[in-house]
Structure 1
Amino acid sequence: MMIEFPVSGVETSLWLPPLVAFVLSFFSSMVGVSGAFLLMPFQMSVLGYAGPSASATNLVFNLFATPGGVWRYSRDRRMAWPLAGIILLGTLPGVVLGFYLRVLVFPDEGRFKLFVGVVLLLLAWRLLSEFAPWANRKRAPQWTGSGTVHLARHDWRRMEFRQDGQVCGFPVPAMLALAFVVGIVGGTYGIGGGAIIAPFCIAVFRLPVAVVAGAALAGTFATSVIGIAVYSLLPVPGGGGAAPDWLLGSLFGVGGLVGMYAGAATQKHMPQALLRLGLGLLLGALGAWYLWPGGV
C-alpha cells in the first residue's frame, strides 16, 4: 500500500519506513547510536526527502525510538546516568547552534553531504586505527557489557565507572567541551546531540561500549526533544519552514522503538571489540558514500 505524506511530499509503502528503522536501530543501538544518522541517506537517496525538514523528521524518529533502548539498559542496570547528564548538559546549547548552521550554511544537499562525510570519516579513522597492525596505543577496556555499571568517582574534575573490578574514566571539563561540539554537529545533521557522542567517547576517551551505549541514547532522547522544538518554533532566516513530517517520523519511530529494545537486549552478548570494529566500518562506508560524486 502506497501512501503520500503531505508535509514532506514523500510517497512510499506504509511498511517500508518502520522496517528500515527496525533494522538500522537493532544494530546501531548496541553501540549507543540511535540509527538516525543512517536514516538521513535513506531519506535523501530512497525517499527523495532532503532539506532542514528532513533533519527535523530524524529527530522525531529519535523521540519514539530511543526510549526502548534506554529502558532496556536501565532495566539491566547498565545505564551510566551521570555520564548521560554530562552529555545532555554539553550538547543542548550545541543543538541550537546546529539548527542555524543547517538553515544558513548547509541548506542545500551538496554542502550538507560534504559536512557530514568529513565528520563521519574522521570518526571512522579514529575508531579503526586501533585495529591497524602498526598500532601500539593502549586499547580501550574490554568489558563484557553484562555486569552492573557502578559510579566509582564523580567530581568536577573527573568521573569514573566500575564494572566487575575494572575501572574507566574521563576528565569532566573535556567531556563537556566535546559534548558541546558534538551537539553542534548533531543538531546540524538532525540526529540529536547525543547520537554521535558514543563513537567520540569510545575513540577519544577510550571508554567501553558497555558504559557509553545507554548514556548516549538517553542524551539523544533529551536533545531530540529540544531539537524538534527548535526546528518547529524558531524562524528560518529567509523564510520557509523546517518543521518535521510527524507522520513519516512516527512510522520510523515505531520500527526504531522495537529495534532499539532488541539491540539493547542483545548487546551484552556481543564482543565489544567486534562492535567497535563494526561501528568504524559502518561510519567509514557512510562517510565515503556522502563524499563520493553522485552518492546519496
Structure 2
Amino acid sequence: MYFPVADINVHPMVPPLVAFAVSFFTSMGGVSGAFMLLPFQVSVLGYSSPSVSATNQLFNIVAIPGGIYRFIREQRMLWPLAWAVVIGTLPGVFIGAWVRVKWLPDPKNFKFFAGIVLLYLGYRLVLDVLKGSKGKGMAANEGNRPSVGQAEFSMSTISFEFDQDSYSVSTLKIYLLCFIVGIIGGIYGIGGGSIIAPFMVAIFGLPVYTVAGAALMGTFATSIAGVAFYSFLARYYPGVSVAPDIGLGLLFGLGGLAGIYMGARCQKYFAPRTIKMVLCFCVLFVAGKYILNFFF
C-alpha cells in the first residue's frame, strides 16, 4: 500500500501490528509507543521527512484514549500531575515543532544530543533496577488495587497518597522538566509526555503506577496541539513534507489503541521493577540508535 505523504510502500497490516506490540509494553510505564515507533518509521520504513513527527503525534491522538480510560476507571489517574504535565509541555511542543521544521529537517546533531540525555536517563534507571527496589507489587493479589488518594496541588508542591505512602514533588521542577521535554517531544513527534515517565520515576522517585496515567494524558493533549501546529506550519513550507500522513498515522494509531488499552489493563499484574526494566530497554535502545547514527 502506497502512502503519498510519507512516500513509502508498506503492507497495511504492518503498522497496526508493530504499534500494538510496542504500545502494549511501553504503555505500562506511561510511554505511548510513539517513542519506539519513530526509529521504526525512520530506519525500517525509510520515512524521515519532518512530517514523520506529525504522523507520530497523530498516532498518539488515536492510540492513547483507551489507556487513559483504563487509568481513570481504576482511579489511578493523578490529575494534579496530569495537568502539570500538560501545562508544562505545551509551550515546549510548539517551540519544538518550529525548530524541527525550520532548523532540523535532518536532525542528526540534535539526535546525538538527545541520545546523550537519554543515555544518562537509562543509566539512572538501570541503577534503580539493580538496587533491587521491588516496591509493593500488585501482581500477587488481583484484588489489591491501590488508587490515588488525597491529591493536592499548589504553586509550590504536588502531593498525593498512594498505596499507604505519601509523595511530594516540586511543582516548579515539574514545569521546568516538562518544558524541556516538550521541546524534545515537539521536534521528534513523540508527544510532550512520552519521555516524562522515566524522568519522574528515576529522578523524582514517584511510583510508576501513578506516573503512567499522567504521562499518557500529557502526551495526548500535547499531541493534539502538535499535529495542529505542524499542519499550520505546512502552509508556510510548501516545498517540505510537514503535515502528517493521515492514512499511515491512523493505521499506527488503531494498533496502538488496542495495545495501550491492554497494557494499561495488564499493568497491575506486573511488578514495578519489571515495568522499569521495560522503560530501560526503550530508553537505551533509542539512545544507542541516535548516538550510533551520528557516527555512522
TM-score scaled by length of structure 2: 0.91
Partner residue, 2:164: 165
Partner residue, 2:270: 270
Instruction: Give yes or no for contact 1:146–1:269 (8 Å, CA) kept in 2.
Output: no
Counting aligned pairs with the same residue, the percent is 46
Partner residue, 1:34: 32
1:212 paired to 2:195: no
CA distance in 2, matches of 1:112, 1:160: 35
CA distance in 1, matches of 2:211, 2:134: 12
Partner residue, 1:196: 195
Instruction: Give yes or no for contact 1:150–1:163 (8 Å, CA) kept in 2.
Output: yes
Instruction: Give yes or no for contact 2:49–2:241 (8 Å, CA) kept in 1.
Output: no
Partner residue, 2:258: 258
1:103 to 92, 101, 109: 101
Structure 1 gaps, min length 5:
none
Partner residue, 1:290: 290
Q: Which moved more, 1:142-151 or 1:84-93?
A: 142-151
Cα RMSD, aligned residues only? 2.2
Shift >3 Å, 4+ stretches: 139-145, 235-239, 293-296
1:11 to 1, 5, 9: 9
1:75, CA displacement in angstroms? 0.9
Q: Aligned partner of 1:253: which letter?
A: G
Instruction: Give yes or no for contact 2:36–2:282 (8 Å, CA) kept in 1.
Output: no
Partner residue, 1:122: 120
- Per-residue CA deviation, residues 69-95 of structure 1 (Å, 9 max, x unaligned), is 000111111111111100000000000
Q: Which moved more, 1:238-247 or 1:6-15?
A: 238-247
Structure 1 residues 286 and 240 mapped into 2: Cα distance closer, same or farther (>3 Å)? Answer: closer
Partner residue, 2:229: 230
- Per-residue CA deviation, residues 254-289 of structure 1 (Å, 9 max, x unaligned), is 000000000000001100012112211331122112
1:295, CA displacement in angstroms? 8.8
SS in 2 for 1:268: helix
Matching of residues 30-179 of structure 1 within 5 Å:
30-132=28-130, 142=136, 144=138, 146-179=145-178
Q: Aligned partner of 1:5: which letter?
A: F
SS in 2 for 1:167: strand
SS in 2 for 1:128: helix
Partner residue, 1:184: 183
1:293, CA displacement in angstroms? 4.5
Q: Aligned partner of 2:34: which letter?
A: A
Partner residue, 2:141: none
Structure 2 gaps, min length 5:
139-143
CA distance in 1, matches of 2:163, 2:54: 40
Q: Number of residues paired by the alignment?
A: 290
